[in-house]
Amino acid sequence: MSKRKNETVPYTLVIHGGAGTISKARQNEALEKEYKKALREALQKGGEVLKKGGSALSAVRVAVRTMEDCPLFNAGRGAVFNFQGGHDLDASIMDGKTLKAGAVANIRNVKNPVELAYIIMKKSQYVLLSGADALDYALENGLKIEDSQYFRTEMRYQQWLKARGSDHMFLDHDTPVDDKKFGTVGAVARDKRGNLAAATSTGGLVNKRYGRIGDSPIIGAGTYANNHTCAVSCTGKGEFFIRLVVAHEISSIMEHGGKSLAEACEIVFKQRLQTLGGKGGVIALDKNGEVVTLFNTKGMYRGIKKEGERDKIFIFDQ
């Protein structure tokens, strides 16, 4: 069936706020409510864009930006501390229509890394910029800058103090810090014109060092979007997602193997990631609006908005 020019499809937005060993026992109720509220807000703001006929690309930007601004999540404000006690931020965005992409790794002081990733995609000849030199690009392009204090939260500081001195890095959810488990954020969307987009943003692993880059700013690993297949955003121990090229692999299994989105996600998560011992989660959305949220951890913060349906927010059960 071919779609007529002005015909529209139902829009969809899916977001995540990280996956990890979130357990009901450890999660106190008040905090659970805060998370759900924050997820609902991101879903609402991103959804508003789609409702008005905006692009999937704008919707994932807005949803991820909203979560970057929320201190509960490990992205933007509230990012984990690195080995030196600073905040290194990673983000990426991809447009499924054009296969254009932008990403930034180990950026500091940029309030919304996803906006920088977007500007890199939109205005530059690059895909991936990194480190202190990428800040020059942010400054030249008028991105909003914040001092280090802005990104600092007491909870993250305590989390870092417990990790510091060790050579140990961990997912923020897996820390020994009680009742505080947060994570990478991401969004995938399909707009009324049927275009797909994906975006991801993170502060990476607690106490990370040596300029480590995870999967979040890597197109194909943590983020991928292609109108012919699906849009994907991942969260978890990035090294495994890079080795398996997870986001792109899901798309490839659909495109070349003729599998459904659900089957592709199952193959990658239940078979490949499991075999290597990788932990994490994924949100994915195919060109027909099918949604998959999958994780092999105890929980994943996530929300789903489908046009004409009630918003859904989950933390635990698949």
Please select the residue that binds a second copy; options are 49, 189, 230, 244, rule is CB under 8 A.
244
**How many Å apart are CA 34 and CA 37, to the nearest integer?**
5
* Contact call for residue 234 and a second copy (CB under 8 A): no
Q: Is 94 exposed, middle or buried (0-12, 13-18, 19+ CB in 10 A)?
A: buried
Cα 84 to the center of its chain, rounded Å: 24
The HSE-up count of residue 312 (CA atoms within 13 Å, CB side) is 16
* Contact call for residue 160 and a second copy (CB under 8 A): no
* Contact call for residue 218 and a second copy (CB under 8 A): yes
Site string for a second copy, 91-130 (x = CB under 8 A): --------xxx---xx------------------xxxxxx
- Smallest distance from a second copy to CB 195, Å: 16
Place of tokens 């990194």: 130
Using the rule CB under 8 A, give the single segment among 12-20, 27-35, 154-162, 212-220 that binds a second copy.
212-220
The smaller minimum CB distance to a second copy, of residues 136 and 178, is found at: 136
The smaller minimum CB distance to a second copy, of residues 108 and 306, is found at: 108
* Contact call for residue 165 and a second copy (CB under 8 A): no
- Smallest distance from a second copy to CB 234, Å: 13
Please select the residue that binds a second copy; options are 17, 47, 220, 281, rule is CB under 8 A.
220
- Smallest distance from a second copy to CB 72, Å: 27
Cβ–Cβ < 8 Å for 268, 217: no
**How many Å apart are CA 50 and CA 283, to the nearest integer?**
18
Q: Is 244 exposed, middle or buried (0-12, 13-18, 19+ CB in 10 A)?
A: buried
Tokens standing for residue 201: 């943003």
The smaller minimum CB distance to a second copy, of residues 113 and 214, is found at: 214
Cβ–Cβ < 8 Å for 199, 233: yes
Question: Is 184 a catalytic site residue?
Answer: yes
CA-nearest of 66, 75, 41 to 153 is 75
* Contact call for residue 184 and a second copy (CB under 8 A): no
Using the rule CB under 8 A, give the single segment among 63-71, 148-156, 178-186, 250-258 that binds a second copy.
250-258
How would you label 138-174 residue by residue, b for 16+ Cβ within 10 Å and e otherwise?
A: beeeebeeeeeeebbbebbeebbeebeeeeebbbbbb
- Selecting among 175, 184, 200, 297, the annotated active-site residue is 184
- Smallest distance from a second copy to CB 233, Å: 15
* Contact call for residue 243 and a second copy (CB under 8 A): yes
229: CB partners within 8 A, 6+ apart: 251, 254, 255, 286, 287
Give me the active site residues, please: 184
| Positions in the binding site for a second copy (CB under 8 A) | 99-101, 105-106, 125-134, 136-137, 169, 209-214, 218-221, 224, 238-239, 242-245, 248-249, 252-253, 255-257, 276
